[in-house]
Structures are given as C-alpha cells and as structure tokens.
Amino acid sequence: MSFYAARQPILNKDKTLFAYELLFRQSLENVFPKINENQATAKLIEGLQFNLGLETLTQGTLAFINFTHDTLLDGYPLLLPKEQIVVEILETARPGKRLLKACIELKEKGYLLALDDYEHDPLWRHFFPYIDIIKIDYTLSSNEQIKQILDEVRPYPNIKLLAEKIETYSEYQHALDIGCEYFQGYFFSKPEVIKSIAFKPSQLSVVNLMAEVSKGDPDIQKISAIFEGDVELSFKLLRYAQSPVFKRVGKIESLRQAIIMFGMEELKRFISLLFTAQFSQGKPQELTVMALARARFCEQMVRMNKTSAEPSSAFLIGLLSLLDAMVDTNISELMEKLPIAQTLKDALISRQGELANYLKLCELLESANWQEAESFAQQSGYILEPALDCFQQGLQWASERIKML
C-alpha cells in the first residue's frame, strides 16, 4: 500500500527554510476515508519509519509532526529521533497533569515542543516552561487574541512565536512586527506585486544563455563567450563539470571543452539551474527546489506520454512557473522580458495547452490534493500512479542538482 504525506515549509525571519510540517494524507484509493487524528499520527510515524523516511521529506531540516492527546500520553514521539522533529501538540489536546508529565518527560529527553493553533487557556501556563514554540493561526486569531497571547508568553523568553496560515505580505509584516520568529504559509510564493523589473548583469548573462540554447541550432562559440564574460558563471560551470555524474576522459582545459562534454540537453538543464539560482537569490531555497522539481516532472511526463511536445520545452515551463515568486513581479510582465517562444509564454500566462496541464497536475500533487489530482489526470488522459512516481523522482533530482551547483 502506498504511503502519502504532505509537507509545508516553515521559514525563518530571513525567509530561509527552518523546518517542514509533515501531514498524513489518505491513499488514492481512500483506504482510510474516516481516519481520526490518532490514526493519522500513527500512520504518519509508520510511514516515516518504513517508507519515505524523514530525510527524504525534510532534506535534513526539522519536521513538525502533529501529536494528539492520546498519542502523547502513549509516548509516540519517542519513536522518532529527537534531533529531527518538533513535537506539535494539537489544539484538541486537553491540558492536565498527565499531559504535563508527558511533556516534561519529552523535554527532559531533548525534544522540542510546540503548541498548535494556540488559544489561551490559563491551564496552559503550567506548560509554558517546557514549550519552545507557540503557533498563532492568522485565520482564526483576532488582533485582541494575538495581543493576549503576547502578554501571556512575555515572561517566558524560552517561547518563540510561529505565525501560520500567512496568506499576504501585510500579514507577514504584522507577524514580523509583533516578534514572530517563524512563518508558515504561502506569502513567499504570493509576493507583493511591483510594477517593473530590471535584470542584474549576472541575471542578464543567464537570460542570454537561455536565449542561445533555445535556438534550433545553438552557437557553441557564442555560449562560450557568454560564460567567458562572467567569472562567477565560468567557475560554476567548471565546478558542475567536476560532478561524478559526468565521466571525463581527461582534465578539462577550456570552457568550450566543458560545454561540449555536457552535450546540449545537459547544458540546457545546467543553464536552467543557473537561471533559477540567479533569480531566486534572497528567497527560500525551497522555492528553487520546487521550480527544478516541477521542471523535471513536466519533462518526464512528456517523455512518458510520448506526445508531440518537446521535453526541453516542458522542462522550461516547470522551471519558469515560480519565477514571479522569485522576483516579486507578475508573470505577464516577466514573460515580456524573456526570449522564449510565444507558445510557452501563453502556457504560463493563460495556463492552457498540454504543457500547462502537466504543470497543473504537478501543483495538485505538491498540495497533496489526491482526489482532484486523480480526477484531473483522468480528464487529461494520464495515469496517476506513474505521474506520482515522476513527482517523487523530480524532488530527488532537484535536491541533487542543487547540491551539485
């Protein structure tokens, strides 16, 4: 039986990745249609131990995992390594002596504890000396309730605040102003829109590289010249060429030799990776990983379904789908500035056509919306299980490529 889990990034103040919250999801066959919270926690732990594993889902960061009142009393957190998880006490847990004892024992063993969707109850004060993080749900908490929480935790410097379900830039700014240390939601991928954009020199070099390799007959001499004109890009090209992925006959003596060694398909992928890295500076690395994973997913879907679409075009569609989030500008304005085919621009802006369908399916899998993903796949003529394999392989591929760069 397949194991499914969704993950949502939790960011630091500087919008770098701090952790993921992991959530159990039902199988495509709806094996557990009426699963309760205790079962969800048990199934998630089972899956982490025997299927995907924490490292696969979190890429070395912390994992926030929901625990119910009963699973805390039964010691379920002890089944997972203390160095890798944050024990998230669900809002349905009932503060009392037995739960307090369980929390103290976890704290003594070195676990981090968080209160989920916190609404103040005087009984929780007894827990505050052992709590590391309190999560404030911005969709449920009024300004008055948030102020009350701030007043209650002020005597406890050990407690840090996490603002969750942040949907807008203004909510993020408010959470930042009141002293929140961590942030969870989609504010980083739905940025405040600005009206114009100017490319930096390093970004322009990568745009020129993309324009050249997108031609029907790319000019190796022009590609070499662009790399030679940018020391940082040249260094990255040579470092990338040292990867074990490439079997070299001898030492690389020129940039041209490295470019030829790659071959055009791998060179396009490398330039795409450079593009993403250049345009996502100052943004969470998760955004870069997600863009690369989407690109790989769309490329593999074209190959698997053997359609008339070009795999390289599908790769580019996935890669550019998060560009607006990377540079804080709407996608229409960005497409005007990029030297790519009009059909690809239309697919990204209006989300129509075969390549846009692959992107839509990828987004549904990212959000673990299995039922809608299955329905959309059937309507589009795809088989979902192989697509899910492509999605998981895309995440792994993206993580490996980031490390190589």
pLDDT given at position 28: 40
**Amino acid code (one letter) for 361:** L
- 174, 176, 180, 181: CA torsion to nearest 10: 160
Per-residue pLDDT tens over the stretch 287-318: 788 888 898 999 899 888 877 777 878 888 88
Which position has the higher pLDDT, 54 or 234?
A: 234
Helix (H, G, I), strand (E, B) or coil at 253: coil
Domain ranges within the chain, ordered by starting residue: 4-185, 201-404
Question: Where does residue 288 rank: exposed (0-12), middle (13-18), buried (19+ CB within 10 A)?
Answer: buried
pTM of the model: 0.50
Per-residue pLDDT tens over the stretch 58-99: 777 888 988 989 889 988 888 888 888 899 998 888 888 999
List, in sequence order, the alpha helices (H) in 31-89: 37-50, 54-58, 69-73
End-to-end CA distance of the chain: 36
Report for 2-11, 159-168, 231-240: range of highest mean pLDDT: 159-168
Which position has the higher pLDDT, 86 or 32?
A: 86
The yes/no answer on whether domain 4-185 falls in CATH 3.20.20.450 is yes
DSSP at 89 = E
Question: Where does residue 307 rank: exposed (0-12), middle (13-18), buried (19+ CB within 10 A)?
Answer: middle
Homologous superfamily, domain 201-404: Hypothetical protein af1432 (1.10.3210.10)
The answer, yes or no, to whether residue 30 has pLDDT greater than 50, is: no
Per-residue pLDDT tens over the stretch 108-129: 999 999 998 888 788 888 999 9
The answer, yes or no, to whether residue 39 has pLDDT greater than 60, is: yes
pLDDT mean over 26-33:
39
Per-residue pLDDT tens over the stretch 195-222: 234 456 667 777 778 777 766 677 888 8
Q: How far apart are CA 328 and CA 279, in angstroms?
A: 10
pLDDT mean over 368-380:
85
The answer, yes or no, to whether residue 190 has pLDDT greater than 60, is: no
Which position has the higher pLDDT, 123 or 403?
A: 123
Helix (H, G, I), strand (E, B) or coil at 165: strand
Per-residue pLDDT tens over the stretch 220-270: 888 888 877 777 777 777 777 776 666 655 677 777 887 887 788 778 778
pLDDT given at position 14: 80
Helix (H, G, I), strand (E, B) or coil at 85: strand
pLDDT given at position 3: 54
Which position has the higher pLDDT, 16 or 211?
A: 16
